[in-house]
Amino acid sequence: MPADLSPIDKAKFAAAKCASLLVEDGMKVGLGTGSTAAWMVRCLGERVREEGLRITGVPTSTRTADLARQLGIEIVSLDEAKWLDLTIDGADEFDPELNLIKGGGGAHLLEKIVATASDRMVVIADAAKEVAQLGAFPLPVEVVPFGWQTTRTIIEETLISMDVLGRTTSLRQNGSQPFVTDEGNYILDLHLNRIGNPRQLAVTLNQIAGVVETGLFIDICDMVVIGGAEGQVELRDIAAGTVRQERIDFPDTVNIFTDL
């Protein structure tokens, strides 16, 4: 492992490596998007090469699809796979009930579709992603470009009656232009500071015309795998009500770290 890898990256790798070991031969696996998910895809690619692991991956973004193909992982669409055994993805925040905020990378629409078409969703994260209440991370809301400013106004008016601490919204930018998702939509980031009732907020926002999907993942995640910089890993399974500790050895080889 490169000596200059940061403690956060080491924690992400530990979580990703541990979660990749949950994948069994013949599985159809949803492949998440983001920095931690990229570690996981690389770990799976290493297992495909070295162990002959046979899996079918359903990516949640063009970035993940490109990476998986480079690593020799067979890729199909969700329509081709129909149903998945497991989805592994990162999160921007998770609370004690394993509710999530996702969408920092702008792929939460596909991520939610893939996760809900799976028997299980496993989230991989470092300890900094754990919060007592969601909301410190801005909540992404994907919106149709047509009339997006009107949609934004309605969202801001709706937030007045919600249990949140902040109501500022911003259009996500890519340089001087609006950020555009893989599906051709815009993202509004809601700076709420604290979300008192995530379930109510998710339902309410999804009823607004022009809103495609929010980054709130409620009752979707089954397990969170939390990595530490020394290789320690905690696996919390909310369905089974179990918590177990494991340890991941960092590799000497740099194969999976190339080009990161």
List the catalytic residues: 111
Structure-token match 């022009």, residue found: 210
The SS3 call for residue 61 is: coil
Q: In angstroms, rounded to a whole number, what is the distance separating the alpha carbons of residues 30 and 118?
A: 8
Between the CA atoms of 238, 244, 249 and 251, what dihedral angle is there, to the nearest 10 degrees?
-10
**Sign of torsion, CA 14 30 179 219?**
negative
- Cα–Cα distance for residue pair 54/74, rounded to 1 Å: 8
Enumerate the known binding-site residues for substrate: 33-36, 89-92, 102-105, 129
Cα distances (Å, whole numbers) of residue 220 to 105, 111, 120: 19, 11, 8
For the annotated binding site, the residues are: 33-36, 89-92, 102-105, 129
